[in-house]
Amino acid sequence: MFKIRINNIEVDAEAGETILSVSQRAGVSIPTLCHMDGIEHYTSCMVCMVRDKASDSYLPSCTALVREGMDIDASGEDVVSARKKAVELLLSEHRAECEAPCRIVCPAGYDIPRLNRLLAAGEYIKAIELVMSELDAPEIRCLSCRGYCENACRRRKIDRQVSIRNIRIFIYHNLNYQGGPQKPVELTEFPDFKKIFSSRTGRIEEEELKEWLKECREAGKRFESVTDFISAGEEAKNCMHCDCRASDNCRLRELAQELGIRDRGNKVAGLPLTKKISQGTGLIFEHAKCIKCGLCVRICEDKKEEPSLCFINRGFVSLISEPLTAEFDDIPAAQAELCVNVCPTGALSFF
């Protein structure tokens, strides 16, 4: 046992401990992305950087071990600036959108893609509950709105916009459907996307647009006029889910927000927007959102079920994939769930 200093506080440390674990014990918070307690260290994201003033060196706290005499700065200006650069580097090749165009332009900020997912899956009561939770009663904004969402709908670039406004107006007229809630369950604060970190894709190539069609539930029939839940559900199946399913639960986004980073949209590497979707488990993998933290690979390493995700290729072209001897559809449900839960971004999600 010996003493080190962290943010000018003297703390006990033992040989073999990491700076991160001693800091956590001392109540000093350090952000992480590729680290998870109980899983082998990997050191890839560098957002856990600290500075040892005694040796004048920057160290990744999740991996660097404590040494007697260390004087750690875990939250100074230089350290925060190094973390900011690390997150900016990750975002420089992160091609994905946190929020869909339809939601960004909606003056009320309604969560349109989520509503479409619920309707497409036949979850009508949940769809009503979502609409009610977003109502800033007594005003039903879609009735007087010019339909900015439909103008911005990405589906227009392929054929015709999703009938978002008609779907919502139909639901407003049926709020008592099957004994659903009679009045708003909670009033939400509408998001101001100018103030919230929002990752942007930049230019989307024509063949990439077709890739987005993979997220439509099936080649749904088109309904301009929505008259019942069946037509609402069918029309909703044409939504391409341009948002990120992790938008409320993404450590990368949270960190970018905390560090005041703005996404410039000009991506260095221009990773293609490819998607893999498992027909069995509904697991979706989006390569361009992956920060290669390796958590999904390591969490499955000591599990018996096969196959699981792994790295293929080397260096800049390394990527997460099913093993070369297996299909993406073969990844078992238990592995899929572990991976989705551990992924710090929306690279892995469920359909």
**Site membership for ligand SF4, residue 132 (CB under 6 A):** no
Q: Give the integer Cα–Cα distance in Å for 118 and 233.
A: 8
| Residue 91 interacting with ligand FES (CB under 6 A) | no
For residue 210, with 0-12 CB atoms within 10 Å meaning exposed, 13-18 middle and 19 or more buried, which class applies?
A: exposed
Q: Three-class SS of residue 108?
A: coil
Among the listed residues 209, 226, 15, 187, the one whose alpha carbon sits nearest the alpha carbon of residue 108: 187
Q: Give the torsion through C-alpha atoms of 305, 307, 313, 317, to 10 deg.
A: -90
User: DSSP assignment of 90-153, as one string?
Assistant: HHHT----SS-HHHHH-TT---HHHHHHHHHTT-HHHHHHHHHHH--TT--HHHHS--HHHHH-
| Distance, first Cα to last Cα, the chain | 50
Task: Give residues 60-79 in contact with ligand FES (rule: CB under 6 A).
Answer: 60, 62
Binding partner of 340, given ligand FES, ligand SF4, none, CB within 5-8 angstroms per partner class: none
Binding part of the chain for ligand FES, among 26-34, 66-74, 113-121, 295-303 by CB under 6 A, reads 26-34
Q: Is residue 242 close enough to count as binding ligand SF4 by CB under 6 A?
A: yes
Q: Shortest gap between Cβ of 136 and ligand FES (angstroms)? A: 40
The listed partner (ligand SF4, ligand FES, none) that binds 33, CB under 5 to 8 Å by sort, is ligand FES
| Nearest-10 Cα torsion for 173, 174, 175, 179 | 160
Q: What angle do CA 331, 253, 72 make, to 5 degrees?
A: 105
Show the site string, 251-290: x = touches ligand SF4 by CB under 6 A, - = not: -xx-----------------------------------xx
Asked whether position 154 contacts ligand SF4 by CB under 6 A, the answer is yes
Partner from ligand SF4, ligand FES, none contacting 199, C-beta within 5 to 8 A by type? ligand SF4
* 32 binds ligand FES, rule: CB under 6 A: yes
Q: Are 61 and 48 in contact (CB under 8 A)?
A: yes
Sign (positive/negative) of CA torsion 266, 270, 272, 275?
negative
> Does 244 participate in binding ligand SF4 (rule CB under 6 A)?
yes
Q: Do the beta carbons of residue 235 and residue 167 sit within 8 Å?
A: yes
Among 4, 19, 45, 108, binds ligand FES (CB under 6 A): 45
> Residue 74 binds which entry of ligand FES, ligand SF4, none, with Cβ cut-offs from 5 to 8 Å by kind?
none
The amino acid present at 324, given as its one-letter code, is L
Is residue 247 a contact point for ligand SF4 (CB under 6 A)?
A: yes
Establish if 44 lies at the interface with ligand FES (CB under 6 A).
Answer: yes
> Which of ligand FES, ligand SF4, none does residue 115 bind (CB under 5 to 8 Å by kind)?
none
Q: How far is the CB of 297 from ligand SF4 (least distance, A)?
A: 7
Q: Which residues bind ligand FES (CB under 6 A)?
A: 32-35, 43-48, 60, 62
Q: Which residues bind ligand SF4 (CB under 6 A)?
A: 94, 96-98, 100-102, 112-113, 116, 153-155, 162, 164, 199, 239-244, 246-247, 250, 252-253, 289-296, 320, 342-348
